[in-house]
């Protein structure tokens, strides 16, 4: 059953909401059973479906849920849990899940790799189920035509590995972290060390398959250019369930050069970080140098903070040889003092391992792992810088790194410029283009359990965010949707959210593109079935509950 009339959908949805509003534990149990029966009814093969559906009574439920949780903040006893987890292996099973979820008044959360910073792919405060795409991870690379089809449940690492097995001179501009899922990352933009040369992952998508609110499987032609525009940077979870992407691969040389140079405050890190702001977005398009700020113990007896200092690590990839790289850096950033012995030449896939933090003796096959070696509690935020941060601004930041909560904190500065300056703000929903020097990722990790510990660390990063306000973009203070941050605004938990309320967070992520996203949403999902705390809202009164 792939198609249902619009009026039948309205009837089913309104009835299911009426029934669920007075839910009890027994009602939830009955609803689970009814939902599961519905899934069997609408799936092509009920026997195979039964092996892919997990309720709380299933012995594998907890392990399936926890496998892709990448933030321990959302793995506590008080965290809301899905009533059902569906791990589809066929498109028909996703279609059935959408139909049955509407019928039984459940929200859907779609999980690809589980890296949503606020856990929105697997957590909800209202009754919900998870569609976990882990079994939909096939990749087909066409090296001759420089394209690939990749299913939404695949990880970035799996994609990189598949490309490397077909070509030594093709790559793709996506994430550094190999366990990130392509379904979520590409739909929010997606970037890495190839961004200044080739733009975002979303800039290099040429087709897609999505299942819409009516259970229809649509490709680019069938969905139309408005919806195809929206899912490339506007967050796919607002519009349906993305099944796969067709991507345009990019050329990389057979030899690239990487380096990682660290400088502490005692080694003039403040001056170097400031100088980086003056040149990072103006460097050759083939060169990306990012900065990672963190605190560490100091060996300097002159350090005013005793044993602590701040270290700036300049991490880079250059699409070329070391002999080509050194003159470029010496011309534009001689203060860094980069030497030939600081650099290593390697293949592009080896640079993926190096920049991803893998050891030099590991095989590219390690990219096939879906799980990280360690998972922590964390909170993240983001900013964009349009004017160089002065040295005085950096000096005021350093004391925050000496506080207890900053032990495992990072600030990561990713440079813009290059190809990012050339793509218009409205080309796709991701609007952060010309005029940006860099994006900042603020992130704080901790290892201890407990609400008090979590609150202390989240308050710390909020104070950092507050301190940075004079030095970052304004009107709006822009943010990156893939670094989800519910502090900047949320939708109503149930039902209708006004354009005005959603604009509080929507304009930060999407700027003027937010208006077009809302109109696309209103057209393709007028009743706002696909929703979460920061989903694109529908304008129609029918969306009100």
pLDDT at 10: 25
Domains annotated for the chain, with CATH where assigned, are 30-132 (3.30.43.10), 139-251 (3.30.465.10), 256-342+376-469 (3.40.462.20)
Mean per-residue pLDDT of the chain = 92
- pLDDT beyond 80 at 246: yes
In this structure, are strands 128-132 and 84-86 parallel, antiparallel, or unpaired?
Answer: parallel
Q: How many CB atoms lie within 10 A of CB 359?
A: 8
**pLDDT greater than 80 at residue 75:** yes
483 catalytically annotated = yes
| Measured torsion, CA atoms of residues 313, 319, 322, 326, in degrees rounded to the nearest 10 | -70
pLDDT at 51: 84
Residue 391 pLDDT > 60? yes
pTM of the model: 0.92
Contact 153, 112 (CB under 8 A): yes
pLDDT at 533 over 70: yes
Q: How confident is the model at residue 36 (pLDDT cuts 50, 70, 90)?
A: confident
Give the Cβ contact number of residue 66 at 10 Å. 12
Q: In what order do the strands lie in the sheet with 84-86?
A: 53-55, 84-86, 128-132, 107-111
Active-site entry in 161, 377, 483, 496: 483
How far apart, in whole angstroms, are the C-alpha atoms of residue 212 and residue 209? 10
Tokens standing for 190? Answer: 């997606």
255, two tokens? 């030899």
As a whole-number percent, the residues of the chain with pLDDT over 70 amount to: 90
Cα–Cα distance for residue pair 536/521, rounded to 1 Å: 7
Return the pLDDT at 44.
Answer: 67
Task: Spell out a b/e string for 177-187, using b for 16 or more CB atoms within 10 Å of the CB, else e.
Answer: bbbbbbbbbbb
CA 47 to chain centre: 34
What is the token pair recorded at 292?
A: 């990672």
pLDDT score for 352? 98
pLDDT tens figures, 121-163:
999 999 999 999 999 999 999 999 999 999 999 999 999 999 9
**Does the structure show a pLDDT above 80 at 9?**
no
Distance of CA 106 to the CA centre of its chain: 24
Cβ atoms within 10 Å of 345's Cβ, excluding its own: 16
| Mean pLDDT of the region 48-57 | 86
Helix axes 348-355, 156-166, angle to 10 degrees: 160
């Amino acid at each position: 059953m792939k198609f249902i009339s619009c009026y039948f959908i309205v009837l089913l949805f309104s009835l299911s909401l009426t029934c669920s509003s007075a839910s009890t534990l027994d009602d939830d149990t009955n609803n689970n059973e009814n939902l599961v029966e519905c899934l069997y009814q609408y799936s092509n093969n009920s026997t195979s479906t039964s092996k892919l559906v997990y309720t709380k009574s299933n012995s594998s439920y907890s392990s399936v849920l926890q496998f892709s949780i990448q933030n321990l903040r959302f793995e506590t006893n008080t965290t809301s849990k899905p009533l059902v987890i569906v791990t589809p292996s066929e498109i028909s099973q996703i279609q059935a899940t959408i139909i049955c979820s509407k019928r039984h008044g459940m929200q859907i959360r779609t999980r690809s790799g589980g890296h949503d910073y606020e856990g929105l792919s697997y957590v909800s405060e209202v009754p919900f189920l998870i569609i976990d795409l882990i079994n939909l991870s096939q990749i087909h690379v066409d090296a001759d035509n420089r394209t690939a089809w990749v299913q939404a449940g695949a990880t970035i690492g799996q994609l990189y590995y598949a490309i490397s097995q077909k070509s030594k001179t093709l790559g793709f501009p996506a994430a550094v972290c190999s366990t990130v899922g392509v379904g979520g990352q590409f739909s929010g933009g997606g970037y890495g060390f190839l961004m200044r040369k080739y733009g975002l992952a979303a800039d290099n998508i040429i087709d897609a398959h999505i299942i819409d609110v009516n259970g229809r499987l649509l490709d680019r032609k069938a969905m139309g250019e408005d919806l195809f525009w929206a899912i490339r940077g506007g967050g796919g979870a607002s519009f349906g369930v993305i099944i796969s992407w067709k991507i345009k691969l990019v050329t990389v040389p057979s030899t690239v050069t990487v380096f990682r140079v660290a400088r502490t405050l005692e080694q003039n890190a403040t001056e170097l970080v400031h100088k980086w702001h003056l040149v990072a977005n103006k460097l050759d398009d083939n060169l990306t140098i990012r900065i990672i700020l963190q605190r560490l113990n100091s060996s300097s007896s002159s350090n005013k903070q005793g044993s602590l200092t701040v270290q700036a690590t300049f991490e880079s990839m250059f699409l070329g040889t070391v002999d080509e790289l050194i003159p470029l850096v010496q011309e534009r950033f001689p203060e860094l003092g980069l030497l030939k012995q600081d650099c290593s030449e390697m293949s592009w896939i080896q640079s993926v391992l190096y920049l991803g933090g893998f050891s030099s003796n590991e095989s590219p096959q390690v990219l096939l792992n879906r799980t990280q070696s360690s998972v922590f509690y964390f909170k993240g935020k983001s900013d964009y810088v349009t004017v160089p941060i002065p040295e005085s601004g950096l000096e005021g930041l350093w004391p925050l790194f000496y506080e207890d909560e900053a032990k495992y904190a990072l600030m990561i500065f990713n440079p813009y410029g290059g190809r990012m300056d050339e793509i218009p703000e409205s080309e796709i929903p991701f609007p952060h283009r010309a005029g940006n020097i860099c994006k900042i990722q603020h992130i704080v990790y901790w290892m201890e359990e407990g609400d008090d510990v979590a609150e202390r660390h989240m308050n710390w990063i909020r104070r950092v965010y507050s301190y940075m306000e004079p030095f970052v973009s304004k009107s709006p203070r822009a943010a990156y949707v893939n670094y989800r941050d519910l502090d900047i605004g949320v939708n109503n938990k149930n039902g209708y959210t006004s354009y005005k309320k959603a604009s509080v967070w929507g304009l930060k992520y999407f700027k003027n593109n937010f208006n077009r996203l809302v109109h696309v949403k209103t057209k393709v999902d007028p009743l706002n079935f696909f929703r979460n705390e920061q989903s694109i809202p529908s304008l129609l009164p029918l969306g009100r509950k």
